[in-house]
Structure 1
Amino acid sequence: MSRNWTGGFSDQEAEALPAKSELPRAEINAAIASQFLSNVKLIEQQNIRKERNFKTAGESMSYSSLPFGVKKSANIEAPFLEHDQQKTLQSVLTPKEQTFFSELEHKTIFLNSNQMEAVRHTEGPLLTIAGAGSGKTSVLTTRTAYLIGVKEIDPSQILLITFTKKAAEEMKQRIASLPGISSGEAKQITAGTFHSFFLRMLRNLKITDRILSSEKYKQIIIKNILRQSQLSPKKQYFPEVLLSLISSYKLQMIKPEDLSEDAADKDIQHIYEKYEAWKRQNGYMDFDDILLKSYELLLSSPNLLKMLQQRFTYVMADEFQDTNPIQYELLKLIASPQNNLFAVGDDDQVIYSFNGADSEIILDFHKDFPNTRVIKLDTNYRSTSPIVGFGNHIIKHNSQRHSKTMKAVRRSRMEPQFYRPSNTEEEAETIVNRLKDKPDTRSWSDYAILFRTHSNARAMFEQLIIHNLPFTANNMKQVFYDQTIIKGLIDHLRLVMNPGDLDATATILPSLYINQEAGMRYIEMENFVDPLPFPLLHLTTWNTLKDFQKGKVKKRVDLLQQATGLSPVEAIRSLRKEYENHLDTGTIENATVHKTTVKEMLDELEFSAQRFHAIPDFLAFVDEIVNKFYEKKEQDSSEDQINLMSIHQAKGLEFPVVFLIGASEGILPHVSALNAMQDKEVVLKDKTSLEKASMEEERRLCYVGVTRAKDELYISSPAFHLGKNAPVSRFLLQAFGTTFYNKDNSQRTEAWICMNKTCNGWMKIDVGNNFTEKQICAICGFEMQKGKKNL
């Protein structure tokens, strides 16, 4: 709930205001709200019909086995695991091993030859590349049982690092149920996240700093530092962005004094130092400090490090692809000198670079551990063969990866289905209609709707609300209209309708470079003595403000007054430029949250608003959607609900039926990656560039989304996104061997490129040769590598 600012108009004063101020804030009754919601479908259908004109008369509006733009089918089905060499492996097993694996099978745990090899590897470093659905959890748990039951390793010597507390608990439960393992032995295993393990170590060393876990509290600390630092008011440093940046530095072990001395970094250096000083003085540490303090302690305390190394002689790391630099350094410290480090992960699922995950860690593991053994788990037990094959043909176009082709064990005639709706509104409505006709054999929880960004999910969320379908919103922290950037512009619309709305006035003050708390105190005090139709105008007499700030207040009030009588989308466009200026201020925000993300969110707001003719109608709809969202958050969650979540949140999960929405250029791949690639010729003759890394992560996101599906996969590619043409995602076209065309109509295709600098030889990669790992140039005989070629 927003703060209720004191002050405002009396009843008599309100009656004397102009007509434009008489409209109340959009706290509408249920009957009116229901009417707004029922009208939305009609408005959406009208907009859909307008945009459908781009379609040809014969173009189908239904799902198809080929993406729009693919003219002929290609065999993309995954190869099958016809037979396994497990029986051959049985001949080299010791009697004790044979008993162990036989007892596993009695518990219906059947390991293939690669899984069994990974379980049996105990000495020295092992990198297990575990593809999607390949049973990595079974390998981790059975290897732990193998160490204890077959190798007779003391369970207290085993350290199992997971990335969630839930995963650690589930693994210990599964280990306790395996043959030869008692519940007491399972309890002796140390299993947990990096943070839980190293926090326990710090507590044992009598480090009693309290954990600063509240993001809101941390933002208050940063706000106080900014206020005391007296930085230029034209530099809008956002607390959440600064905290993200400081966290990024810590994960890379960068201290304040390590930052460069340019002007931007000097500000950040000052804020970083003050933040760290505040925590020291008040006896706090944040989550990043847990790892950083532990790392520094182990480097400075050889005896402590040696004690840990002797205690944990066998170290296992799950989800290794998500490891960040400081976590990796901690793993290396504890695992040495024996280096019995068992790392399990999939380089094709590195999608958390924004949280510090570095794909080079898993790709270059063998460089840090020269005697590394690599085992690939390349059989997918989760998905049907068409889904596995489609995933293979998506991810094979990435060059920075451990080469593997996933095999399938589940046959099906149900191919992935593709749909080309006009826009995101039609996309959402089509999916909802299919869900409403779900067969009785399916539960609601069998379905997952996956999206790239929360902005992209706005229409889908609203359709589920409008049609009253059961779905979980637990993974969504905020509804679209309540996000800070969007809420600021929405509250401008509230002031157009009701200039006396002090809650909305408080929200927009940051966009005027005015401290919210101090500004509202002055407005409330002045308005109590001398009420104005537009309380915001009181700021023009506040001596604390500089002239440029007072000028911005006057200009903003003028814009708000001019927006009276405009449609919602017209009002947003008239206010947006001035509002957006403050979001573009400050180099740090631009470095962390790309401008295109802000633009995308505001574009989505415009697209949503164009369905309504009057601002009060739009505000009423927004309030109803927001209220419905928080009602869902407060309700007891039923297990039988549709899963609406981002691809990032879905990683590690699986669902019988998956709808992957927004598979269009600008959404997936995201516009930020496209901007990075624009006008760049990326060829793998040099180290992978930032631009290429960005696009490869987008492709990994697409791969993760596809491989969540077990039985059925539906992919939709809106033809228009935010009012602009959006081609079908290149990831879909390239998977079917279709060349993707750039905006200039040049073909940009996957190709083998000769590494001889004096040779221009290249060869297009097509469906027939794309799984070949080596090629020799037919012109000069040099080795070729995979890359991109503009034709």
Structure 2
Amino acid sequence: MFNPTPQQIAILSCNDNCVIDAGPGSGKTTTISHKINQVLSEIPWYQGVIAISYTNKASDQLKGKSKSICGDLKNSFFGTIDSFCIANIILPFGGRFFGNPDRKVKVEKFIEDETLLNKILHDLDRVLNLYKDITIDDIDHGKMRPIYDIKEEYLTFISNKFKEGLFDLRFVGCVAYLIFLSSKACRRFFKARFTHLFIDEFQDSGKEQYFLFLRVAELGIISWAIGDVNQSIFGFTNKSSKYLANLMVNKSFVLFPMNINHRCHPSIDLYGKVFLGITVDEEPDEINVFEAVIEGNECDLGTWFNNRIDLIKERFDVKDNSSIVIVARKDIHLELFSQSLTVPFKIHSKNFLDDDQSIWGSLFKRILDLAFDRRKTIYNFVNEYLNRELSSDGSKIRLISQLINHIRKICDEVLTGSQVDPKDIGDLFKKSALLLFPDSPNDFSVEKVEYMFKNPSLLEAFYPVETSQIQLMNLHKVKGLEYEIVIHLDLYNYVLPGFNYFSGGDTEELDAATHLHYVGITRAMKALLLLVGSKRYQQNRDRFISADKSMFLSGDVENYRLAWID
């Protein structure tokens, strides 16, 4: 049962544009889901909300929780910002400016000329900035069409490719925004269909998403931004917490704090606040943050942990190995650590489809997760894409269920070591995608699936976690997750923070490293162990060198952790 805190009650009572400053473990997904339920209960069937998450996995969680609360999501959209812009702006309205395509448009990365790509992106950014202070009313009264301010040769290139059925994924955000500004029909569609916009993890937004968010609010669609500037970790992809910070001081948005941590042991929550420089008055009754300084390198840290797994589990009343995660900044350090483990483990490295942000690519990841994990049901999968109450969806439901069952049987064969025909499996995936997303064909995604089945080791990323397995993942992967025990590695100067901070005073690197470490701290529910070795691996020279303990471990935080004692 949902028993909202006073902070959550205030948020749920808001019917205006707002910004939610949501700290770790604050229950933001639950709160957003209940707000969505409120909204959907008061609007007709043909309307809905836009609910944007940073990843497909996070979107699935929000959609699943919302559906469990309100049942009927009506005409809502749940997904990533790219998938939203593709499905609701570029594909339905792009033809008005680029010409009608002679085939279904594929959205993928197809431009190999980096010079051309960067020139076009630079020009799109120029046009975005031209209109940032011009209201929609002024654009309409002046009969402006911002998209036509793209340099002629680049607009011609984009148009010709669109008519050929190609659109580069890297143009999605900027071009969608310019179409939105240029098309009254697009904006009328938004107003007619959507009543609210929710964007989670706003601290990892780019400029074009920030601009689009403000424009949607300008239309009169109630818009909510949810995030935490201290958890912004994707700066290397041109995302920035500054856009969330801007909204926090924007008088057109009501600012709500949501800073009660329901996840972490109080001492872990306190440690994270002290690390960020937040003044705290309370003292923990019990400290569950520990530092262990060990002679040796990453492999020796692995040996130290391996010899104490049972002790650690017993001390903190943890039943399953899968409730323990090892986090580091770099995957190579996790690999070195894992070499000393004698217990089962799973390294969550980048999978072969991670870079495929197309609609079909995202679907195929979902299908692979479903195919290998029998805890997930075809019934629930189908419910996310089709409506069982519509007779027109009846045949599709039967067909997709048959296709997924067939794919599951083939995946079972892969698990037993049997050889399968990649073309056959590729055909099954293609048929599934054509049933659910016939207007977004992408043969490249199909080829990726076929390649994985030719190289079955690539499929291991989709195998379900077993309770006997220790989890290992980098600090970017662990964002949004929680574990009973977190073992934090890579706490060295020149790693956290990285080389650029010490060599050139790069403050962006310092901020990125600070946020990464904070994310690592706040994933822990029961206990946090900070492991530091006397040596560390230097990848660019393939050697172990003397390690310098991270500056993040010095200062006031030293008073809020204990030395580990067996």
TM class by smaller structure: 0.5 to 0.7
Query: Are 1:668 and 2:496 counterparts?
Result: yes
Letter in 1 for 2:331: H
Letter in 2 for 1:698: A
Give RMSD over aligned pairs: 3.7
Letter in 1 for 2:13: R
Q: Which residue of 1 aligns with 2:10?
A: 117
Return the match for 1:192 from 79, 82, 91: 79
Q: Answer whether contact 1:168 1:193 (CA < 8 A) is retained.
A: yes
Query: Are 1:137 and 2:29 counterparts?
Result: yes
Distance in 2 (alpha carbons) for counterparts of 1:277 and 1:732: 53
Return the match for 2:204 from 307, 318, 322: 322
Return the match for 1:725 from 546, 550, 557: 546
Distance in 2 (alpha carbons) for counterparts of 1:141 and 1:407: 32
Return the match for 2:510 from 692, 695, 715: 695
Does the C-alpha gap of structure 1 residues 629 and 457 become closer, same or farther in structure 2, counting only changes over 3 Å?
Answer: farther
Return the match for 2:60 from 158, 161, 169: 169
Residues 342-741 of structure 1 aligned to structure 2 (within 5 Å): 342-367=224-249, 369-396=250-277, 412-435=286-309, 439=313, 441-464=318-341, 467=342, 469-477=343-351, 630=457, 633=460, 636-640=463-467, 641-677=469-505, 691-721=506-536, 722=538, 723-736=544-557
Distance in 2 (alpha carbons) for counterparts of 1:278 and 1:318: 35
Q: Which residue of 1 aligns with 2:181?
A: 299
Q: Answer whether contact 1:658 1:709 (CA < 8 A) is retained.
A: yes
Q: Answer whether contact 1:312 1:335 (CA < 8 A) is retained.
A: no
Q: What is the Cα deviation at residue 279 of structure 1?
A: 4.2
SS in 2 for 1:455: helix
SS in 2 for 1:457: helix
Residues 267-286 of structure 1 aligned to structure 2 (within 5 Å): 279-280=161-162, 282-286=164-168
Q: Answer whether contact 2:331 2:474 (CA < 8 A) is retained.
A: yes
Letter in 1 for 2:460: K
> Per-residue CA shift, 1:90-110, capped at 9, x if unaligned?
xxxxxxxxxxxxxxxxxx111
Distance in 1 (alpha carbons) for counterparts of 2:491 and 2:177: 42
Distance in 2 (alpha carbons) for counterparts of 1:330 and 1:211: 23
Structure 2 unaligned segments of length 5 or more: list them. 96-100, 129-150, 353-454, 539-543, 562-566
Q: What is the Cα deviation at residue 354 of structure 1?
A: 1.0
SS in 1 for 2:239: coil
Letter in 2 for 1:370: K
Query: Are 1:308 and 2:190 counterparts?
Result: yes
Letter in 1 for 2:39: L
Q: TM-score, normalised by structure 2?
A: 0.65
Structure 1 unaligned segments of length 5 or more: list them. 1-107, 226-238, 256-268, 397-402, 479-627, 678-690, 739-765, 768-791
Distance in 1 (alpha carbons) for counterparts of 2:321 and 2:24: 24
> Per-residue CA shift, 1:521-563, capped at 9, x if unaligned?
xxxxxxxxxxxxxxxxxxxxxxxxxxxxxxxxxxxxxxxxxxx
Based on CA coordinates, which of the two structures has the bigger radius of gyration? 1
Q: Answer whether contact 1:473 1:632 (CA < 8 A) is retained.
A: no
Q: Answer whether contact 1:144 1:175 (CA < 8 A) is retained.
A: yes
Distance in 2 (alpha carbons) for counterparts of 1:652 and 1:406: 28
Distance in 1 (alpha carbons) for counterparts of 2:279 and 2:169: 36
Q: Which residue of 2 aligns with 1:783?
A: none
Does the C-alpha gap of structure 1 residues 338 and 473 become closer, same or farther in structure 2, counting only changes over 3 Å?
Answer: same
Return the match for 2:92 from 179, 183, 204: 204
> Per-residue CA shift, 1:229-283, capped at 9, x if unaligned?
xxxxxxxxxx7xx79967975885679xxxxxxxxxxxxx9x9999969845753
Q: Answer whether contact 2:21 2:258 (CA < 8 A) is retained.
A: yes
Letter in 2 for 1:333: R
Distance in 2 (alpha carbons) for counterparts of 1:275 and 1:451: 42
Does the C-alpha gap of structure 1 residues 365 and 705 become closer, same or farther in structure 2, counting only changes over 3 Å?
Answer: same
SS in 2 for 1:374: strand
State the number of aligned residues: 418
SS in 2 for 1:697: helix
Q: Answer whether contact 2:485 2:525 (CA < 8 A) is retained.
A: yes
Distance in 2 (alpha carbons) for counterparts of 1:247 and 1:458: 39
> Per-residue CA shift, 1:631-653, capped at 9, x if unaligned?
88378444322211110010000
> Per-residue CA shift, 1:722-742, capped at 9, x if unaligned?
44433221111124369xxxx
> Per-residue CA shift, 1:575-624, capped at 9, x if unaligned?
xxxxxxxxxxxxxxxxxxxxxxxxxxxxxxxxxxxxxxxxxxxxxxxxxx
Q: Which residue of 1 aligns with 2:418?
A: none
Q: Percent identity?
A: 21
Does the C-alpha gap of structure 1 residues 659 and 190 become closer, same or farther in structure 2, counting only changes over 3 Å?
Answer: same
Q: Answer whether contact 2:351 2:461 (CA < 8 A) is retained.
A: no
Letter in 1 for 2:288: M
Distance in 2 (alpha carbons) for counterparts of 1:253 and 1:349: 29
Distance in 1 (alpha carbons) for counterparts of 2:237 and 2:495: 20
Pick which of 113-122 and 417-426 moved more: 417-426
Q: Which residue of 1 aligns with 2:393?
A: none
SS in 1 for 2:533: coil
Q: TM-score, normalised by structure 1?
A: 0.48
Q: What is the Cα deviation at residue 667 of structure 1?
A: 1.3
Distance in 1 (alpha carbons) for counterparts of 2:13 and 2:174: 34
Q: Answer whether contact 1:251 1:324 (CA < 8 A) is retained.
A: no
Letter in 1 for 2:293: Y
Q: Which residue of 1 aligns with 2:143?
A: none
